[in-house]
């Protein structure tokens, strides 16, 4: 009799412990790991949006200072990407995941073309004699006054900053996307499915 009561009490404690553990996991705010530190995904989203805003403004100014007027449309696109990160900050502050859409769309397009552009620079650094690489080499030498530079050096010097900025924005894009998903799940909560009863074997 005492043994049966003890087993019933043990099963009850085990069930309560599992329920409390699942509730704690559901109520715990999502976090993001930044090196040795772990911060909330909301804080990581704010930091990533601000970093991308500053970086995009710098890239737009760099492009405007060195590129010809034919590339003004590219500069305007980069500026649109920059200011879309302000919508991310506003959307995170007001708990509105819909405001993340312009940033995720524009930056997704930007990352695609930036990755393609970086691959072309690297390809031309390896095979500079290709037809379109010769035209690109003439553009870089004319734009950056590098007429006496070797073609390999010209393409590599331009490949390094473009690839680093693309990788950095790609990392921040991943953080912002994580923040969008976390906020969307928090705002648009679906009714939870009824849990199956815990059966102790």
Q: Hey, what are 53's tokens?
A: 């805003």
Which pLDDT score is estimated for 139?
60
State the DSSP string of 109-126: HHHHHHHHHHHHHHHHHH
Buried b (16+ CB within 10 A) or exposed e, 58-95: ebbeebbeeeeeeeeebbebbbebbebbebbbebbeee
Between the alpha carbon of residue 143 and those of residues 60, 62, 173, 186, the distances in Å are: 16, 12, 30, 49
Which pLDDT score is estimated for 148?
46
Q: Map residue 16 onto helix, strand or coil.
A: helix
Which pLDDT score is estimated for 25?
43
Which pLDDT score is estimated for 114?
87
Which pLDDT score is estimated for 176?
92
Write down the residue that tokens 């969008």 correspond to.
180
Residue 2: in which H helix or E strand, if any? helix 2-27
| pTM listed for this prediction | 0.68
Q: Map residue 37 onto helix, strand or coil.
A: strand
User: Do the strands 37-40 and 31-34 form a parallel or antiparallel pair, or are they unpaired?
Assistant: antiparallel
Q: Hey, what are 137's tokens?
A: 């080499």
Which pLDDT score is estimated for 134?
61
Which pLDDT score is estimated for 104?
94
Q: What is the pLDDT along the chain (201 residues), one digit of tens a residue?
A: 555 554 564 555 455 444 444 444 444 555 555 555 566 777 888 888 999 999 888 888 777 766 554 467 778 888 899 999 999 999 988 989 999 999 999 999 989 988 988 888 788 777 766 656 666 566 655 555 544 456 677 677 778 888 888 899 999 999 999 889 988 888 766 545 555 544 444
């Amino acid at each position: 009799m005492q043994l049966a009561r003890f087993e019933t009490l043990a099963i009850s404690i085990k069930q309560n412990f599992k329920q409390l553990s699942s509730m704690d996991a559901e109520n715990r705010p999502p976090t993001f790991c930044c090196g040795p530190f772990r911060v909330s995904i909301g804080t990581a989203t704010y930091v990533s949006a601000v970093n991308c805003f500053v970086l995009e403004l710098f890239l737009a100014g760099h492009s405007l200072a060195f590129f010809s007027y034919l590339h003004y449309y590219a500069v305007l696109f980069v500026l649109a990407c920059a200011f879309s990160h302000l919508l991310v900050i506003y959307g995170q502050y007001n708990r509105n995941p819909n405001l993340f859409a312009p940033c995720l769309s524009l930056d997704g397009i930007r990352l695609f073309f930036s990755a393609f552009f970086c691959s072309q620079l690297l390809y031309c650094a390896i095979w500079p004699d290709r037809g379109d690489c010769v035209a690109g080499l003439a553009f870089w030498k004319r734009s950056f006054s590098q007429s006496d530079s070797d073609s390999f050096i010209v393409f590599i010097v331009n490949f390094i900053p473009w690839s680093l900025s693309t990788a950095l924005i790609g990392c921040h894009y991943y953080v912002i996307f994580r923040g969008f998903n976390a906020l969307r799940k928090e705002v648009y909560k679906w009714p939870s499915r009824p849990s199956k009863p815990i059966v102790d074997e």
